[in-house]
Structure 1
Amino acid sequence: MKQRLTSIDVFRGMTIMLMTIVNNPGDWSHIYAPLEHAEWHGCTPTDLVFPFFLFIVGISTVLSSPVKRFDSNTFERIITRALRIFLLGLFLNFFSKIHLGTLEGVPLMLIRLVLTGIATVLLLGDFDKKKQFYAAVGLFVFMISLCFSGIEDFASVRIPGVLQRIAMVYLIVSVLYATTNTTTQIVVGLVCLLGYWALMALVPVPNVGTANFEKGTNLAAWIDNLLLPGHLWSVSKTWDPEGILSTIPAIGTALAGVFTGKLLTNDFPKNKKAIYLLSAGVIGVMIGFLWNDYFPINKALWTSSYVLYVAGWALLVLGVLYFIIDVLGFEKWTKPFVIFGVNPMVVFFFSGIIPRALNMIKIAQPENVETPNTGLIEWLYRHWIEPFFAEPKDASLAGALTYLFIWFLILLWFDKKKMIFKV
């Protein structure tokens, strides 16, 4: 029997709302510091978004299967879900690479949206489980083959990504949860964190020299460039913030969620659960902060100190929400957050697709010599939002909040129609 806690939906909803805001500023050149990632070492509120998702993945693994059972059907379900999540992320990277002859602008946008519709049906559609599995496997083989086919359009498609990491971590953690006991899971978590620290801090980097935690010259960057050349983050090109080696400690983030899920499904009184959540949160933040002196808190490297630090904050936020909603029973205010929390994958996926698509619609600006044509979203922001604000950062934030409100209206309609999309 699946369990559903309103506090988890609210926590997930808050996380997806913050993600929507930080990923869609009106102007990328003017953003308030808390809504930007740390430049390298350090942690801002924005750096909490992704690990909070992985933490929730761990919790959901327990809540969706409180009675552990591992057989061929369970394994097929896990593989199917992991592939569907991975492919949603990969399709986001494919979207802007899709071309058809000399088509551009609106005609090309329509072609891309038709393919997006097909991908949506295959990856978010609710149909026979066997067909879901075969569709996911087939699409995976097809898209990965395109990446390495030599076709120019797909020669630089980024293979890693946020959803791709979520998929890989979900796959590993789900199998661990279904096949091992808590002691083994704790050992695996410690090995992931301590082993990653040892690799990053002690192993010399080929062609570079001493082990280090610097941008582009560390062991994780070397492995990314060795195994996925040409298919990495476009900003760096030679390393990826969701790369291969740094996925190891990310398993620890999801395992922290698994342990939290076990606590929440335990028979402890609710007030004790809230105390345990908050206490564990304080401990996690403190250990992560202390470890920072030796292994800097860093999201791009997903350092072990970062894992503990952000898991601590996740426990603190969830502990407060759990106490307010599940202990005190005060939940009338939760509706806006819940509607985001029950449909996170739709928001994540289409928040990436919509701006890419709409900016393919070009608006002529004959008065602007430097940019005679601009994308629709850019044009709307410059003409309908920016002029009302004296401070550029306020205008940029207003643009992000406007996009969030549009999503709220969409999700409110989904809620009224009882529409929930699951991978």
Structure 2
Amino acid sequence: MSNTTKGRLVSLDALRGFVMFWIMSGEHIVHALAKAAPFPIFIWMSSQLHHAEWNGITFYDMIFPVFLFVAGVSMPYSFEKKLQAANVKTPRELPAAEKQKIYLSMLRRTCILIVLGFVVNGLLRFDGLENTRLASVLGRIGLAWFFAGIIYLNFDLKKQLIWFAGILIGYYAAMKWIPVPNFGAGVLTKEGSLEGYIDRMFLPGRLHSKVYDPEGLLSTIPAVSTALLGVFLGTFLRAKDYFSTNVKLLLMTFTAIILILTGMLWDFDFPINKHLWTSSFVCFVGGFSILFFIFFYVIIDLFGFHKWVFPLILIGSNSILIYIAAEGLVDFKHTADYVFGGLIQYTPIVWQPFFAALSVTFIQLLLLYFLYKKRWFLKI
């Protein structure tokens, strides 16, 4: 644990908390609300908190890439002190010895995230490798962040953009043109895709969806571009002397619209698909990631309205910890039932699941508030 929040962007913590809220318990609140009060708006919200079956996209499909995008935005800020200490302006100018230290630190962080992903997937149940899922959300975050960091540290912005486009075009070409035994080339189904084939051939352990894994090997490559989008935004925000705030907002909004339109157009030939992390998916969600960020950036960093997002900041400042805990390491439901179950039983039966879901969120926020007040943050 680290005992400092110094140097953190509040808007980033709030956005990180916003997307993590839906994973840790928010989705259960909305699902229960839709059943208790089946109004069209609640039913639609509930439908958006499920992954798309295959092609297409829902809000829930955006949560993971937005989180990875935020990790990319943080990168230029996290290296800022190192640049100042070395009296250089860009990461490429850092001395070789300093870069080596950064590489080792990044590798350590990635390895820890991969191992934590194993733990979340049940490694400590010791069911044998064949029954353990090795691919994970945390593992993909670590790997995509790591390789995006390598690109950021060693190439100027123009070459970073070439890497971004090259990865997406290269992934598209591989998925469309490399044949899969018994299926041929360009078959973008669960069984017939190149991504699924590579997972079945080279990814040890249990696959999440039997014939492929949504956090598999090949589809981690375009996730690097998702992280790079965040790096571009973080770099742009740090360029304080070149653009006024209003111009920055206009440029960010324009870029978001272009990315969304690019994803929609690419969707005709390479469908928007979170399971395969297609190039159209990267562009489409990347655009919305920028729009989400603009919303929090304007309200928090520009207008200074902090109080209303405090619960999100609690979540965002310890997002990895609450993710690991909520994924099964801590039984929040048991604690919530013990504390609030007696009161909830006196509410109307149809509303009891809703209040039970709220009570879980309340217990989680209590834990996060305690950690926040103690300045204890899981820093990897």
**Structures share a fold, TM > 0.5?**
yes
Task: Tell me which residue corresponds to 2:40.
Answer: none
Q: What does residue range 320-359 of structure 1 map to in structure 2 within 5 Å?
A: 320-354=295-329
The structure 2 residue matched to 1:250, chosen from 223, 227, 249, is: 223
Q: CA deviation at 1:271?
A: 2.8
Task: Tell me which residue corresponds to 1:421.
Answer: 378
Q: What does residue range 221-370 of structure 1 map to in structure 2 within 5 Å?
A: 221-233=196-208, 236-267=209-240, 268-354=243-329
Q: What does residue range 336-415 of structure 1 map to in structure 2 within 5 Å?
A: 336-354=311-329, 388=347, 398-415=355-372
Provide TM-score, normalisation by structure 1. 0.75
Distance 1:379 1:221, change over 3 A: farther
Separation in 1, partners of 2:345, 2:175 = 44
Superposed CA deviations along residues 341-365 of structure 1, whole A, max 9, x for unmatched, are: 111111111111335x689xxxxxx
Distance 1:195 1:337, change over 3 A: same
Given the alignment of the two structures, is residue 169 of structure 1 paired with residue 183 of structure 2, yes or no? no
The letter for the 2-side match of 1:295 is F
The structure 2 residue matched to 1:63, chosen from 77, 93, 114, is: 77
Task: Tell me which residue corresponds to 1:7.
Answer: 11
Task: Tell me which residue corresponds to 1:74.
Answer: 102
Q: Contact (CA 8 Å) 2:203, 2:216: kept in 1 or not?
A: no
Separation in 1, partners of 2:343, 2:30 = 11
Separation in 2, partners of 1:303, 1:21 = 28
The letter for the 1-side match of 2:294 is G
Q: Match of 2:250, SS?
A: helix
Unmatched 5+ stretches in structure 1: 99-151, 360-374
Separation in 2, partners of 1:170, 1:158 = 21
Q: CA deviation at 1:224?
A: 0.2
Distance 1:388 1:47, change over 3 A: farther
Distance 1:169 1:337, change over 3 A: same
Given the alignment of the two structures, is residue 190 of structure 1 paired with residue 162 of structure 2, yes or no? no
Separation in 2, partners of 1:380, 1:202 = 57
Distance 1:264 1:26, change over 3 A: closer
The letter for the 2-side match of 1:49 is I
Distance 1:23 1:84, change over 3 A: farther
Q: Match of 1:276, SS?
A: helix
Q: Match of 2:128, SS?
A: helix
Q: CA deviation at 1:336?
A: 1.3
Q: CA deviation at 1:382?
A: 9.9
More divergent stretch after superposition (252-261 vs 407-416): 407-416
Identity of aligned residues (%): 33
Q: CA deviation at 1:82?
A: 0.8
The letter for the 2-side match of 1:349 is I
Provide TM-score, normalisation by structure 2. 0.83
Separation in 1, partners of 2:30, 2:329 = 14
Task: Tell me which residue corresponds to 1:107.
Answer: none
Separation in 2, partners of 1:418, 1:252 = 33
Q: Match of 1:159, SS?
A: coil
Distance 1:384 1:156, change over 3 A: farther
Q: CA deviation at 1:96?
A: 6.1
Q: What does residue range 65-214 of structure 1 map to in structure 2 within 5 Å?
A: 65-66=79-80, 67=83, 68=91, 69=94, 70-95=98-123, 97-98=125-126, 153-214=128-189
Distance 1:378 1:303, change over 3 A: farther
Separation in 2, partners of 1:217, 1:376 = 44
Given the alignment of the two structures, is residue 18 of structure 1 paired with residue 22 of structure 2, yes or no? yes
Distance 1:19 1:160, change over 3 A: same
Q: Match of 1:420, SS?
A: coil
Q: Name whichever structure is richer in helix by fraction.
A: 2
Separation in 2, partners of 1:48, 1:184 = 27
Superposed CA deviations along residues 161-212 of structure 1, whole A, max 9, x for unmatched, are: 1001011111111111111111111111111111111111222211222421
Separation in 2, partners of 1:253, 1:206 = 30
Matched residue count: 349
Q: Contact (CA 8 Å) 1:230, 1:237: kept in 2 or not?
A: no
Q: CA deviation at 1:399?
A: 4.2
The letter for the 1-side match of 2:371 is F
The letter for the 2-side match of 1:273 is K
Q: What does residue range 20-39 of structure 1 map to in structure 2 within 5 Å?
A: 20-21=24-25, 32-39=46-53
Superposed CA deviations along residues 222-268 of structure 1, whole A, max 9, x for unmatched, are: 000000254321xx222100001111111110000000000111113
Q: Match of 1:155, SS?
A: helix
Q: CA deviation at 1:77?
A: 0.6
Superposed CA deviations along residues 43-66 of structure 1, whole A, max 9, x for unmatched, are: 111111100111011111111013
The letter for the 1-side match of 2:233 is T
The letter for the 2-side match of 1:62 is P
Distance 1:294 1:271, change over 3 A: same
Distance 1:397 1:257, change over 3 A: farther
Q: CA deviation at 1:400?
A: 3.8
Superposed CA deviations along residues 66-123 of structure 1, whole A, max 9, x for unmatched, are: 322352211111111111111111111235623xxxxxxxxxxxxxxxxxxxxxxxxx
Q: Match of 1:35, SS?
A: coil
Q: CA deviation at 1:385?
A: 5.9
Distance 1:177 1:380, change over 3 A: same
Separation in 2, partners of 1:220, 1:25 = 34
Q: Contact (CA 8 Å) 2:259, 2:284: kept in 1 or not?
A: yes
The letter for the 1-side match of 2:9 is L
